[in-house]
Structure 1
Amino acid sequence: MKFNRRSVLALTAASAATTLFAPAGRSRAAAPFKQPELPYAEGALAPAISARTVGLHYGKHHAGYFKKLNTLVEKTPYADLSLEEVVVRSKKQGDTDIFNNAAQAWNHNLYWQQFKGGSAAPKGELLDAAKTSFGGPDEMQKKMVAEGDKVFGTGWVWLVKDGDKLTIVGLQDAGTPLADDKKALVGIDVWEHAYYLDYENRRPEHVAAVLSKLVNWDYVSEQFAG
């Protein structure tokens, strides 16, 4: 059976993978932490993100963070915490290796989930917030592209809920709003492994394509309102 992006995303929209990803909430499972299944086929995000990139990004990098995290937290108090709690506590206690791997595991959980269902337009309270905070959705996306280009080296650009408004922050390396108890709505990975095979050094092009073609803005609108 031949799959294209539309058919795969439609098929998986009602699948059990929905329950495996809950980046906006607080999953209670403690160690050993398990990488959620990818909620679509590796080729479902093409051409914006190729199957080869997804395979390496999800299968090697994301999986690697979970593997390393489980090794690091074994027989420590962190093993009894949820993934989200590990992120927050390790940041506060300065356990850098644990934080980096836990945060990257969590960041990528949100990253893959936000694409499930395909691109749509912000609506409801998110649309109102985009207008208030940036002048509208187009301006919001332009600011995210610009912020992503400013991140030096490796990191993430985040759309964050700030009360009834929105903020955009660029954070280096494993940086995540979760560590500051803030609600991340959209996270775009600007580590080179996320885009270099497809875009080489054209990072802004990658961020723009992800925001305009892949992010499920209906899903983001639900997260903002929730």
Structure 2
Amino acid sequence: MANRRNFLYLLGAGTTGTLLGTLPAASWAAPTIATVTATEMFKLPPLTYDYNALEPHIDAATMEFHHDKHHAAYVKNLNAAVTKYPELKTKTVEQLLTSLSTLPKDIQTTVRNNGGGHYNHTMYWQIMGPKGGGKPTGEIAAAIQKQFGSFDTFKTQFNEAGTKLFGSGWVWLVNQQGKLKIITTPNQDSPISEGIYPIMGNDVWEHAYYLKYQNRRPDYLAAWWNVINWNEVNNRFAKSLKA
């Protein structure tokens, strides 16, 4: 199995479409990276743990490819879009995503896709970590208990939403007007663009799990709970109450 994953990884870094055949290209191949000639506004945040720190639940090859290729591409493409308009250089990614309709029309889709990819993935790396998992603690544990009845019920509903999402996208726990909800978004759309604060989210694009789990998305969703950093989720929950 390890040799197969390594082979898929090497293939994915080069010509992904040949072996994978029927897989949707948009959900597998790394995005095309634009060239940025001006000073980059947005930076790829480094991982705070090693690529292999989440094994056996998420393998090192997936982490390296996902962070260094996919997320890096979103950052590059976002920078390329905003450098066309100097007045946007003072904007944060959150400000861009919450005011998409006011941006120049020729970059709205690029910012939506790549700004969303940057924002979503930055959160994704933060809410995972080694020695994670287990049941939630702190204020988020009490809030989940109150809203869903139990953590097991919440986890089941979250996984079901992620499994049923057609194509590529994200499954989220959000704070919407003071109420916890499970929602999904397609592609790299972020709840923040709709004024909804995301507390935690799982990436269900195939590039997040295919090297290890192939087409078994439910297995990936089930394993993901073993790497959750509940301290960071609590931090985000606290921020959501102030948002």
TM-score bucket (shorter structure):
0.7 to 0.9
1:174 aligns with 2:184: no
The CA RMSD over aligned residues, in Å, is: 1.8
Q: TM-score, normalised by structure 2?
A: 0.76
* Superposition deviation, residue 136 in structure 1: 1.0
* Superposition deviation, residue 164 in structure 1: 4.2
In 2, Cα distance between the equivalents of 1:91 and 1:130? 34
Name the SS for the 1:185 alignment partner.
strand
Give percent identity, aligned residues only: 38
Q: Residue 215 of structure 2 aligns with which residue?
A: 201
Query: CA offsets, 1:152-182, max 9 Å, x none?
Result: 1000000112344310001100121111222
- Name which of 70, 76, 90 aligns with 2:100: 90
Query: Which residue type is aligned with residue 99 of structure 1?
Result: R
1:224 aligns with 2:237: yes
Contact persistence 2:97–2:112 (CA under 8 A): yes
Moved more, 201-210 or 74-83: 74-83
Structure 2: gaps of 5 or more residues: 1-38
Structure exhibiting the larger radius of gyration computed from Cα positions: 2
Q: TM-score, normalised by structure 1?
A: 0.81
Contact persistence 2:161–2:184 (CA under 8 A): yes
* Superposition deviation, residue 92 in structure 1: 5.8
1:210 aligns with 2:230: no
Query: Which residue type is aligned with residue 178 of structure 1?
Result: I
Mark the CA change 1:173 to 1:111 in structure 2 (over 3 Å): closer, same or farther: same
Contact persistence 1:157–1:190 (CA under 8 A): yes
- Name which of 88, 100, 120 aligns with 1:78: 88
Contact persistence 1:31–1:80 (CA under 8 A): no
Structure 1: gaps of 5 or more residues: 1-29
Q: Residue 116 of structure 1 aligns with which residue?
A: 129
Query: CA offsets, 1:125-145, max 9 Å, x none?
Result: 312221222111111111110
Moved more, 90-99 or 49-58: 90-99
Q: Residue 36 of structure 1 aligns with which residue?
A: 45
In 1, Cα distance between the equivalents of 2:62 and 2:101? 29
* Superposition deviation, residue 208 in structure 1: 1.4
1:141 aligns with 2:150: no
In 2, Cα distance between the equivalents of 1:218 and 1:153? 30
1:47 aligns with 2:56: yes
1:151 aligns with 2:135: no
Mark the CA change 1:163 to 1:126 in structure 2 (over 3 Å): closer, same or farther: farther
Name the SS for the 2:43 alignment partner.
coil
Contact persistence 2:174–2:180 (CA under 8 A): yes
* Superposition deviation, residue 87 in structure 1: 1.5
Contact persistence 1:132–1:165 (CA under 8 A): no
